Amino acid sequence: MSEKRNVVPDREKYSQTLSRLSENDEIKTLVAIRMGCEMGMTRLEIVNSRVSDIDRINKRGLWVEVAKRVRRGKKRVNDKKIPVFEMRQREIPINSNLYQLLKTYTKSSQMYILHREKGDIKSPFIPRYINTLYEANDVPWSTHGSRHFFKS
């Protein structure tokens, strides 16, 4: 596993992995990987991405309401200063190929892009679930490696 942490996929490895996932009908993992690699999204952003936020502000854009917890100063409570946090939000453009996949993969009745088949369908997966998808489908890089692929 430690070897996997430092791996950033190259174009060939990325294409082979996407082909294998597509052939094996592992669409949920395919969508998660493409969102990480092609949109630079974190695990938190991927699991909290809502279907209703596709095209919310801009055509072929995804508004992410829960993007990251950021510190916004301190407030005084009982003579102690405690940090104040809020969630960052952002709009992420979607390339046309991935946009078509998301539109085909999602249904208007589902709440989140990565939807649950069982359990509480109105709550998102935990971010660790993305790691589980990668591991279950033998993806040869980490979830963070996907963000580095996007960066390069």
Domain limits, the chain: 2-50+94-145
Are 60 and 99 in contact, with CB atoms under 8 Å apart?
Answer: yes
**DSSP assigned state of 50:** B
pTM equals 0.81
pLDDT in tens, 92-101: 999 999 999 9
Helices in 40-127 by DSSP H: which ranges?
A: 43-47, 96-105
Are 39 and 150 in contact, with CB atoms under 8 Å apart?
Answer: yes
pLDDT in tens, 49-100: 999 999 988 898 888 877 666 777 888 888 888 888 777 778 899 999 999 9
Are 25 and 15 in contact, with CB atoms under 8 Å apart?
Answer: no
Helices in 8-142 by DSSP H: which ranges?
A: 11-23, 27-39, 43-47, 96-105, 128-136
